[in-house]
Amino acid sequence: MKEFLVNLVKQGRLKFVEPSENLSVSYMDKSQSNFESSKILLKNNKLEEAVSLIYYSMYNLVLSLLYKIGIKSENHSASIFLLKEIFEFDNAPILEAKRERIDKQYYVGFKISKKELDES
């Protein structure tokens, strides 16, 4: 993982920036909007679309935390890794949400029930 992060730094996709409460709050707002939209989609049985927005709701909270301490990350995997390494949060739920988002967004031929979505 260290080499991966070093490569992202070299590419300018992971860097230290001035901590920004404004950006942190903006990403929290974006997260809340994604979450509210996902609930609307769930109520209308748009489960596939809801999965993506639930993931992005979680991911935007991670970005909010990173900007709060002055880290800009343009890579999902790196951001999720840093969530665990810096903040010592369990990143298993967002890793699972990311896998589900990728499966639902890029592949066809699956069935998901509202019960399964509620359990994840």
Query: What average pLDDT does the chain have?
Result: 93
Q: Tell me what the mean pLDDT of segment 21-30 comes to.
A: 99
Q: How many angstroms separate the first and last alpha carbons of the chain?
A: 26
Give the pLDDT score at 9: 97
pTM of the model: 0.87
Q: Which of 12-16, 107-111, 115-119 has the highest mean pLDDT?
A: 12-16
The strand pairing partners of 14, in sequence order, are 73
Please state which of the ranges 6-15, 32-41, 83-92, 110-119 shows the lowest mean pLDDT: 110-119
In CATH terms, 14-119 corresponds, of 3.30.70.20, 1.20.1530.20, 2.40.50.140, 1.20.120.330, to 1.20.120.330
Q: For the purposes of burial, counting CB atoms within 10 Å of the CB of 102, is it exposed (0-12), middle (13-18) or buried (19 or more)?
A: middle
Distance separating alpha carbons of residues 50 and 71, to the nearest angstrom: 28
Confidence of residue 118 (pLDDT cuts 50, 70, 90): low
Extents of the domains making up the chain: 14-119
Would the pLDDT of 34 be above 90? Answer: yes
Q: What is the pLDDT of residues 46-96, one digit of tens each?
A: 998 999 999 999 999 999 999 999 999 999 999 999 999 999 999 999 999
